[in-house]
Amino acid sequence: MKGKVLRACSLLFIVLYISSCDSSTKEIEENKAVDVRFEKVKELAKHRSDELFGVFEQSLTDEEVYALKFLYSFMPLSDLADYDGEFFLDHVKTTLMIRKNASWGDSIPDDIFYHFVMPHRVNNENLDTSRIVFYNELKPRIFGMSMYEAALEINHWCHEKVEYQPTDERTSAPLATVKSSFGRCGEESTFLVSALRSVGIPARQVYVPRWAHSDDNHAWVEVWASGKWYFMGACEPEPVLNLGWFNLPASRSMLVHSRVFGVYKGTEEVNSVNDKFTNINVTDRYAKTVKQYIRVVDEKNKPVPNATVEFQIYNYAEFYPLTEKKTDKKGFAFMSTGKGDLLIWAYKDQKFGFSKVTMGENDTVTIVLNNNDKNDIEMFFWPPQPSEHVKVNVTEEMKAANKIRFANEDSVRNAYVGSFISQEKFNKIASGKNLEPDLFPFLEKSKGNYDEILSFIENFDDGQKHWLKSFLGTLADKDLRDTKADILDDHISEAIRYAYDYLPEDFIQYIMAPRIANEMIVPYRAFLREKFGRSFISKTRNDVNNLIKWVKDSIVINDEEQTYNLPITPTGVYKLRVADRLSRDIFFVATCRSFGIPSRLEPGTKTPQYFWIEKWVDVRFDGKEEKQEKKYNITFTSTNYNLKFKPQYYHHFTLAKFEKNKYKTLELEYYADFDKLGKIELAAGKYMLLTSNRLESGKILVNLDFFEIKGNMKINLKIPDEKVENMVYGKLDMDNKATADKSFRDFGKSKNIVIGVLVPGEEPSKHTLNDIQLVKENIDREGIELILVMSENEKVNFKKSAYPKLPEKTTVIYTKSDPVKELGLTLSGEKATTYPLFIVVKPNGDIIYKNEGYKIGIGNDLLKKL
């Protein structure tokens, strides 16, 4: 017996020893990899060597040195260009201090700590000092809690600060999001991850890049607590982890993934890895998945190694690449994905091929690189079916307690919002300083940043006051919320010297405007004018090729090192002398504007252009000088006279140009009616028109039309349709009282009515209200009544003024009990428990349309039933 015990102990010792050796070997390998990467980055950023790497001359600990090298090794070019070493050193020292002081600091493995706590960025947000700010505020609040409890509590704190509202694509820094009091899901999740990391809790942003069952996408947060990953909705606290309004939609995902800072070697499936980050696939946490293999062959059926395979999903009337894979030596690539339909597009060299694939129907699908875009194609796609993939137990008592906390948190945030500038406060200021009344909307949009915008307005040169509103009008709402007065002053004071060289509209849009793409606005004009000097500016104003040559000769292009969708600022490009193509193009436009030359990124293709002798001139930095491509006028028409809606770009159709073995969608205006796009100037070439229709059943009809543009042409939009039998989803007693003095019959005497049951404080309901605003004109034209129903408890979360473009005939009803019961609704199937609930009711009470839960584009769905 004693011998058996000794043998068992010896075996255990050997296992532990081997495990320890493996861990030690892995650590040594990672340290070497960081050293190699760091040396490469030092060479890459040699033009900013002192600003970035001078901090290593300070007295640093070994841990501080490694952490700094780790950050430098994997940060994008934008961080190397736009921030200094002191910023990153402060971040490192703060984060190491937090780990030391946290009760759970020692329990976090180093690889988890360095990939999910140490990084200074979450995704593509602008950087700030939120780590120490949040730490100081959160430390006493979570004292004595476990990691699990602290994660829940921090989400409650986040909800006190921020709620959901849609914003533009530029991601605000966490402190700017707090200042505004709201953000889109990508900003909320960036904020929550930043807050969790600020107290040493590992966290990561996860997201569905595009839904299958609906347009749009969504992001949330995974948090590591005591050795296990959980998920949570950002700024949407629940009583427990692994619970959010998106549980059901997420079960229909084709891909849920996370971008991990650095080269991460965890247990999750790797979608892709590069020198900057590792993209991991966590879909199986949320949905039923299959591993789909793709085999790529040439026209002789020989395998094609190192071919690119894109797994594309239908969303926003285009095929969006969820992920990109490379084939192995035998021509195979794979992806773990949800059980729905995707379009597979594969290419290599000058050959490509594509096919619709139902994931999991066949273990392996073969794609032939045969350039098969010769004929028009009709196809259909199905999203995955919903499933209860994640189950958690929440008692009614827990829900009730959480609801009370939720309301209290709303009141805390609303009290802060109440400190923003009001009309009354503005009137008092305006009367004393002679400010025009129509400046108030700009201050109102600036939210918590109103003091900066007010300062800019008050100090604006009296002699140039007639340009003030035009200048402010060029700014995005988000610019008003996070741009400082001195930055705006740099732009207007430098631009105004060219005010009378061009027509006012050209000066305003293409010289005075600071905004070029989705970059953070910085004060670049005075900087660029000083650096280039008068002689260079004069030569460039006479011949823009002078600047084009400088950009070609001086800026090294490196797209691989700028893997985040985050442009480098124009000052950063000049200082670093390395940029990705988009940042270089923005730099060119910014420099032209600084020199008084009208410039822009062409709206559809984003090609940099400058205005010269009454026309826009394309700039081609890649390759030799080329003749300007001849442009042709393109307009859209529609002969689908049976449609009850106007086809909209990015909703029913898109146009894509063939470039580098695939079709790239032209970036025209989202949800623009086809007849409001006007004439579009496009170069000759191969194009693909996609027309589509997402049916009530979830089925998506798609037509692909391939053609060449050789001259001016009209493109006719034929939106695919399918005759389906009208369904009746239930009944509404039309004699029931809707309001104190009107029954539902009074609302719907001869026309269908729309009823929406909402929880206005939650993101899905906010989405539907925004969608309905997009079709206001159509609903008003038909004279349709819209009835919005919500619990009296939700009054605090609903302000009709926040949705100024709701249909004219909108009535809001508050109920004391369950809205479905109180309305007298009888619905087929299971009891409605998922909100928002939208129905269309005929005058006889038949419910001919029903949608429960999260869905983008519901406004257009309703139009089909009106």
Is residue 852 helix, strand or coil?
strand
Residues 6+ apart with CB under 8 A from 568: 77, 78, 81, 82, 519, 562, 576, 579, 580, 583, 586, 587
Q: Residues 578-627: pLDDT tens digits?
A: 999 999 999 999 999 999 999 999 998 999 999 999 999 999 998 655 56
Does 18 score more than 80 pLDDT? no
Classify domain 730-864 by CATH number: 3.40.30.10
Q: Residues 556-565: pLDDT tens digits?
A: 999 999 988 8
Q: Residues 454-495: pLDDT tens digits?
A: 999 999 988 899 999 999 999 999 999 999 999 999 999 999
Q: Residues 816-829: pLDDT tens digits?
A: 888 888 887 777 76
**How far is CA 335 from each of CA 229, 253, 344, 556, rounded to the nearest angstrom?**
22, 13, 11, 34
**How far is CA 736 from each of CA 55, 361, 601, 721, rounded to the nearest angstrom?**
73, 49, 56, 36
Give me the pLDDT at residue 416, please: 98
Q: State if pTM tops 0.85.
A: yes
Give me the pLDDT at residue 6, please: 53
Position with higher pLDDT, 824 vs 428: 428
Which of these ranges, 171-185, 356-370, 553-567, has the smallest mean pLDDT? 553-567
Does 1 score more than 60 pLDDT? no
Does 832 score more than 70 pLDDT? no
Give me the pLDDT at residue 722, please: 84
Residue 350: Cβ within 10 Å count: 9
Which of these ranges, 7-16, 180-189, 535-544, 744-753, has the smallest mean pLDDT? 7-16
Q: What is the DSSP string of 91-133?
A: HHHHHHHHHHHSTTGGGS-HHHHHHHTS-S-SSSPPP-SHHHH
**How far is CA 860 from each of CA 224, 639, 778, 779, 865, rounded to the nearest angstrom?**
40, 18, 9, 10, 9
Mean pLDDT calculated for residue range 181-201: 98
The fourth-level CATH superfamily of domain 288-374 is Carboxypeptidase-like, regulatory domain (2.60.40.1120)
Does 794 score more than 90 pLDDT? no
- Which pLDDT band, with edges at 50, 70 and 90, does 16 fall under? very low
- HSE (side-chain half, CA atoms, 13 Å) at 859: 26
Mean pLDDT calculated for residue range 245-274: 95
292 close to 360: Cβ distance less than 8 angstroms: yes
CA distance linking residue 201 with residue 609, whole number of Å:
47
- What is the bridge-based pairing of β-strands 332-338 and 289-297? antiparallel
Is residue 478 helix, strand or coil?
helix
- Which pLDDT band, with edges at 50, 70 and 90, does 793 fall under? confident
Where are the domains positioned within the chain? 29-281, 288-374, 423-618, 631-717, 730-864
Same fold, 288-374 and 631-717: yes
- What is the bridge-based pairing of β-strands 680-683 and 713-717? unpaired
839 close to 819: Cβ distance less than 8 angstroms: no
Does 19 score more than 50 pLDDT? no
Does 15 score more than 50 pLDDT? no
Position with higher pLDDT, 778 vs 688: 688
What is the token pair recorded at 339? 């059980």
CA distance linking residue 685 with residue 687, whole number of Å:
6
Q: What is the DSSP string of 6-73?
A: HHHHHHHHHHHHHHHHHHHHHHHHHHHHHHHHHHHHHHHTGGGHHHHHGGGGS---HHHHHHHHHHHH
Give me the pLDDT at residue 438, please: 94
**Residue written as token pair 């805390």:** 412
- Which pLDDT band, with edges at 50, 70 and 90, does 26 fall under? low
What is the token pair recorded at 308? 């690119």
Residues 6+ apart with CB under 8 A from 584: 551, 555, 557, 573, 621
**Residue written as token pair 């029913």:** 652
Q: Residues 61-102: pLDDT tens digits?
A: 999 999 999 999 999 999 999 999 999 999 999 999 999 999
In DSSP terms, 163 is beta-bridged to 182
CATH architecture of 631-717: Sandwich (2.60)
What is the token pair recorded at 576? 């670093």
Q: What is the DSSP string of 401-448?
A: HHHHHHHHHHHHHHHHHTTS--HHHHHHHHHHHT--GGGHHHHHHTGG
CA distance linking residue 410 with residue 394, whole number of Å:
22
Does 694 score more than 70 pLDDT? yes
H helix intervals, 543-676 = 545-554, 570-576, 581-594
Position with higher pLDDT, 179 vs 434: 179
Mean pLDDT score of the chain, rounded to an integer? 93
Q: Residues 380-402: pLDDT tens digits?
A: 999 999 988 788 999 999 999 99
573 close to 528: Cβ distance less than 8 angstroms: no
Q: What are the E-state strand segments in 639-678?
A: 653-659, 662-665
811 close to 748: Cβ distance less than 8 angstroms: no
% residues pLDDT > 70 (the chain): 95
Q: Residues 207-218: pLDDT tens digits?
A: 999 999 999 999
296 close to 396: Cβ distance less than 8 angstroms: no
- Which pLDDT band, with edges at 50, 70 and 90, does 7 fall under? low
Q: Residues 227-239: pLDDT tens digits?
A: 999 999 999 999 9
Q: What are the E-state strand segments in 503-659?
A: 556-557, 578-579, 599-601, 608-612, 615-618, 631-638, 653-659
Q: Residues 624-648: pLDDT tens digits?
A: 555 677 899 999 999 876 777 889 9
Does 441 score more than 90 pLDDT? yes
- Which pLDDT band, with edges at 50, 70 and 90, does 23 fall under? low
